[in-house]
């Protein structure tokens, strides 16, 4: 199995701004999000979002079963490693599905109270993410 992980707070912020600008619901949770229009912190309280990595995506899956785990933050270095592992050329310069820039997004990262709240709410996913980084020698 192969996967790429992204730092949970950064991932949540990305999903939030992507979903906010993508008006056609892609699933039930996105439809709820569009109907409720939650703040970023309230969005982080959604149970499936709060534990997106640790439970929703990877609940009960031992990370040791993965032959490769890459990280969004180090994708330019990780894609050549994956390319070598699978024997196929991969272009690390290709980046699809990038969320459009938002004037609100930098404000979020500068507001320590928002960041603290997100880190507290996403603590299970943050622990999961750093455990994966340690297991794959990238802490």
Tell me, what's the pLDDT at 48? 94
Tell me, what's the pLDDT at 104? 66
pLDDT value at 137 more than 60: yes
pTM for the whole thing?
0.84
Query: Which residue has 């994966």 as its token pair?
Result: 132
Domain boundaries, the chain: 2-135
Tell me, what's the pLDDT at 110? 81
Instruction: Give the number of other CB atoms < 10 A from CB of residue 101.
Output: 9
Tell me, what's the pLDDT at 97? 58
Q: Are strands 2-5 and 68-71 parallel, antiparallel or unpaired?
A: parallel
Summarised one tens digit per residue, pLDDT across range 75-117 is 888 888 899 989 988 877 766 555 566 666 666 778 889 999 9
Tell me, what's the pLDDT at 107? 67
Summarised one tens digit per residue, pLDDT across range 40-82 is 999 999 999 999 999 999 998 988 898 899 998 888 888 888 9
């Amino acid at each position: 199995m192969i996967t790429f992980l992204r730092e949970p707070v950064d991932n949540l912020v990305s999903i939030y701004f992507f979903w906010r600008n993508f008006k056609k619901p892609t699933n039930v949770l996105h439809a709820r999000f569009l109907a409720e229009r939650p703040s970023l912190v309230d969005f982080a309280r959604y149970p499936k979002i709060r534990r997106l990595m640790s439970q929703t995506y990877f609940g009960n899956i031992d990370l040791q079963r993965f032959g490769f785990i890459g990280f969004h933050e180090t994708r330019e270095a990780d894609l050549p490693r994956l390319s070598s592992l699978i024997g196929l050329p991969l272009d690390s310069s290709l980046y699809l599905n990038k969320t459009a820039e938002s004037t609100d997004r930098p404000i979020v990262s500068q507001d320590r109270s928002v960041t603290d709240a997100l880190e507290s709410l996403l603590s299970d996913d943050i622990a999961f993410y750093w455990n994966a980084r340690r297991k794959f020698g990238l802490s």
